[in-house]
Amino acid sequence: MKPAAFDYVRPDSVDEALEVLAASGDEARVLAGGQSLTAMLNMRLANPSVLIDIARIQDLKNISLVDGMIEVGAAVTQAALLAWPDLVKHQPLLAQILPNVGHYQTRQRGTVCGSLAHAEPSAELPLALATLQGEVVVQGKRGRRVLSAADFQTGMMTTDVAADEMITACRFPVADAQSRSLFHEVSQRHGDFALVALAAVSTAQGVRLGVGGVAEIPRIVDLPLLQGEAVEATLNDLAWELDGVDDPHASARYRRELVRRIGKKIINEVSHATS
Amino acid sequence: MQRLDAGLRHRVRFLLNGRAVEGDAEPRMLASDFLRQVLGATGTHVGCEHGVCGACTIRIDGKAQRTCLTFAVQLDDCRLETIEGLTDDKGDLNDLQTAFRRLHALQCGFCTPGILMSLDQLLEEEPEADEVRIRDVLSGHICRCTGYQGMVDATLEVMAARRNAAGGEE
Ligand code: FES
Ligand code: FES
Cβ pair A55:B74 closer than 8 A: yes
Domain-embedded: residue A1: no
Which distant-in-sequence residues (6+ apart) come within 8 Å of A201 by Cβ?
A93, A131, A132, A175, A179, A180, A181, A207, A208, A270
Find the CATH number of the domain harbouring A254.
Answer: 3.30.390.50
Task: State residue A190's pLDDT score.
Answer: 79
Smallest Cα distance from B170 to chain A, Å: 30
Q: Write down how long chain B is.
A: 170
Q: Is the pLDDT of residue A274 over 80?
A: no
Task: Name B4's bridge partners.
Answer: A8
Q: Is the pLDDT of residue A25 over 90?
A: no
Find the CATH number of the domain harbouring A42.
Answer: 3.30.43.10
**Last residue within a domain, chosen from A173, A202, A217:** A173
Does B147 sit in the ligand 1 pocket, CB within 6 Å? no
Reduced to 3 states (helix: H, G, I; strand: E, B; else coil), residue B85 is: helix
Task: Say yes or no: domain B10-82 is CATH 3.30.1490.190.
Answer: no
ipTM metric:
0.95
What band does A70 get if pLDDT is binned at 50, 70 and 90?
A: very high
What band does A154 get if pLDDT is binned at 50, 70 and 90?
A: very high
- pTM comes to 0.96
Cβ pair A104:B70 closer than 8 A: no
Q: Is the pLDDT of residue A275 over 70?
A: no
Give yes or no: residues A263 and A158 share one domain.
Answer: no
User: What are the angstrom distances between the C-alpha of A137 and each of A156, A166, B105, B110, B150?
Assistant: 20, 9, 46, 43, 46
Domain-embedded: residue A108: yes
Find, among A99, A128, A131, the residue nearest to A113 by Cα: A128
Give yes or no: residues A66 and A102 share one domain.
Answer: yes
**Which chain A residues contact residue B151 at CB under 8 A?**
none
How far is A84 from A52, CA to CA, in rounded Å? 27
Give yes or no: residues A202 and A257 share one domain.
Answer: yes
| C-alpha neighbours within 13 Å on the C-beta side of residue A38 | 31
What band does B168 get if pLDDT is binned at 50, 70 and 90?
A: low
Task: State residue B115's pLDDT score.
Answer: 98
| Domain spans, chain B | 10-82, 95-165
**Which chain B residues contact residue A2 at CB under 8 A?**
28, 30, 33, 49
Does B56 sit in the ligand 1 pocket, CB within 6 Å? yes
Average pLDDT over residues A117-144: 96
What band does A240 get if pLDDT is binned at 50, 70 and 90?
A: very high
Average pLDDT over residues A2-19: 97
Does B142 sit in the ligand 1 pocket, CB within 6 Å? no
Chosen CATH of B95-165 out of 2.60.120.10, 3.30.360.10, 1.10.150.120, 1.10.10.10 = 1.10.150.120
Give yes or no: residues A150 and A86 share one domain.
Answer: yes
C-alpha angle with apex A118: A47 to B30, nearest 5 degrees?
Answer: 50
Q: Is the pLDDT of residue A157 over 80?
A: yes
Domain-embedded: residue A2: no
Q: What is the extent of the structural domain holding A24?
A: 7-53
Q: List alpha helices for A133-192, DSSP H.
A: 149-152
pLDDT > 70 in chain B, percent: 98
What band does A191 get if pLDDT is binned at 50, 70 and 90?
A: confident
Average pLDDT over residues A58-85: 97
How far is B106 from B89, CA to CA, in rounded Å? 23
Q: List alpha helices for A153-249, DSSP H.
A: 228-241
Average pLDDT over residues A247-272: 93
Cβ pair B5:A7 closer than 8 A: yes
| C-alpha neighbours within 13 Å on the C-beta side of residue A254 | 13
Q: Is the pLDDT of residue B169 over 70?
A: no
Ligand 1: atom nearest CA of B49 is 1
Task: State residue A129's pLDDT score.
Answer: 98
Reduced to 3 states (helix: H, G, I; strand: E, B; else coil), residue A209 is: strand
What band does B54 get if pLDDT is binned at 50, 70 and 90?
A: very high
Task: State residue A188's pLDDT score.
Answer: 85
Residue with the larger pLDDT of the pair A226 and A71:
A71
Ligand 2: atom nearest CA of B115 is 4
Task: State residue A2's pLDDT score.
Answer: 94
Ligand 1: atom nearest CA of B46 is 1
**Last residue within a domain, chosen from A173, A195, A211:** A173
- Give how many domains chain A has, as a whole number: 3
Find, among B144, B112, A180, A204, the residue nearest to B103 by Cα: B112
Average pLDDT over residues A236-247: 91
Cβ pair B139:A11 closer than 8 A: no
Chain B contacts in chain A segment 47-86 (CB below 8 A): 49, 51, 53, 55, 79
> How many of the other CB atoms lie within 10 Å of CB of A273?
13
